[in-house]
Amino acid sequence: MGFRTGYFRPESGAPPPLRAVARRRVRFEEVDSLGMVWHGRYVSYLEDGRHALGERYGLSYRMFEKHGIAAPVVQMQIDYRAPLRYDDSLVIEAVLHWCDALRLNCEYFIEKNTGNGAELVATAATVQLITDISGELMLCETDFLMDFRKRWRSGALHE
């Protein structure tokens, strides 16, 4: 494995990715005995980024639930570049990349406020599949997702 930032290969003819930002401060309980945020806590940071995306573009858990679908994470990769410490201020950018197949490809950039700028401390990626409520994989698009993707393609989501 090697450090990566472009986790997903751009598909030809794909519309521009969707972006959203979440902010957060490192909690005492997230820091380990070496004084650094334990690597497992970053999963919650990614969740915050994905939540911001969902809020902004109508892809939240609530919407999924309302339309009888779920989007389990089937793959996650995190690359840690610099340690985080107690009370650090974080900016988490989540970027949803278009995928012709029915899945959500999300990339993350976690930056730490250094007082006079920002430092990239971690990058990450998750892949989510779409299932119905019982966990069965959905291969065709539901109306809800079809509509969402149509609006994304048309540029309506970027305004």
Q: Which residues contribute to the site for a copy of itself (CB under 8 A)? A: 1, 3, 7-8, 27-29, 31-36, 38-40, 43-44, 47-48, 51, 60-62, 70, 72-81, 83, 86-87, 125, 127, 133, 135
Give the whole-angstrom CA distance, residue 56 versus residue 157. 9
Pick the closer one to a copy of itself by CB: 15 or 83. Answer: 83
Pick the closer one to a copy of itself by CB: 35 or 115. Answer: 35
Q: What is the DSSP-derived secondary structure letter of residue 35?
A: S
Pick the closer one to a copy of itself by CB: 11 or 32. Answer: 32
Give the whole-angstrom CA distance, residue 50 versus residue 48. 5
Minimum distance of a copy of itself from residue 118's CB (angstroms):
20
Token digits of residue 83 = 């340690």
Minimum distance of a copy of itself from residue 158's CB (angstroms):
25
Pick the closer one to a copy of itself by CB: 75 or 114. Answer: 75
- In single-letter form, the type of residue at position 23 comes to R
Contact 68, 133 (CB under 8 A): yes
Give the whole-angstrom CA distance, residue 112 versus residue 89. 6
Minimum distance of a copy of itself from residue 127's CB (angstroms):
6
Give the whole-angstrom CA distance, residue 38 versus residue 35. 9
